[in-house]
Structure 1
Amino acid sequence: MYHIAVSWDVQPERVADFVAAALKDGRESGEAEPGTLRFELIADPEDPNRFYLNEAYADEAAFNAHAEGRYFKEFFAEVGPYSEISWLFKGTTVTA
């Protein structure tokens, strides 16, 4: 399984817009992209303008397909002007 985690710092007046856009992206990606396994939006308990996305995909190819897809592009087009992303990690689950 391939995982990514990112943090987003959002302009305070656009938090509701960001949350709506992120939840829409997660819902639509999960419904339309078979390789999208998990898409969680997490609010930072200490900073009301910071959010995390925790995502899991069947494999790296499924993530790449998501990143090239409609929902990913629409999400970035929506939130890009009022938020800043920091990639925390990308990687594959290690198993024995």
Structure 2
Amino acid sequence: MFAIYHIAVYFDVKPGRVDEFIAASHLDGRESNANEPGTLRFELIADENIPNRFYLNEGYESLEAFNTHAAGPYFKQFFDTIVPLVEGGEPTWLIRGNRVEDPSV
């Protein structure tokens, strides 16, 4: 019934720091996808109405796979890099949970 653990967060990036934030996000996504078997999806999305707001939409095989990612080197490197680039230094959480599958499909 449940499949894929999802998280979605957003960051408001400081003016003039967008390119650095995008580069750090893409590096985290590439390395996580390549080296963490439980990482299924890592998307960076720019808000269409709020300048400098970026969303991370991520999918993992399970909560345990997300926790492995969060304890890993790419996650740490990402936050070490982006803390001075974003307002408040922390993400705003939008969702955390498992996708509910339609059993009839």
Asked if Structure 1 and Structure 2 have the same fold, meaning a TM-score greater than 0.5 normalized by the shorter chain, the answer is yes
Q: Which structure 1 residue ranges, 4+ long, deviate > 2 Å from structure 2?
A: none
CA distance in 1, matches of 2:19, 2:50: 14
* Normalised TM-score (structure 1): 0.96
Alpha-carbon displacement from aligned partner over 1:21-70 (angstroms, at most 9, x marks no partner): 00000000000000000000000011220000000000000000000000
Tell me the equivalent position of 1:46.
49
Is 1:35 the counterpart of 2:54? The answer is: no
Tell me the equivalent position of 1:87.
93
DSSP 3-state at the match of 1:38: strand
What one-letter code is carried by the residue in structure 1 that aligns with 2:44? L
Which of the two has higher C-alpha Rg? 2
Q: Any gaps of 5 or more consecutive residues in structure 1?
A: none
DSSP 3-state at the match of 1:76: helix
* Normalised TM-score (structure 2): 0.88
Root-mean-square deviation (Å): 0.8
Q: Percent identity?
A: 58
What one-letter code is carried by the residue in structure 1 that aligns with 2:74? Y
Q: Tell me how far 1:93 sits from its aligned partner.
A: 1.4
1:1-96 counterparts in 2 under 5 A? Answer: 1-84=4-87, 85-95=91-101, 96=103
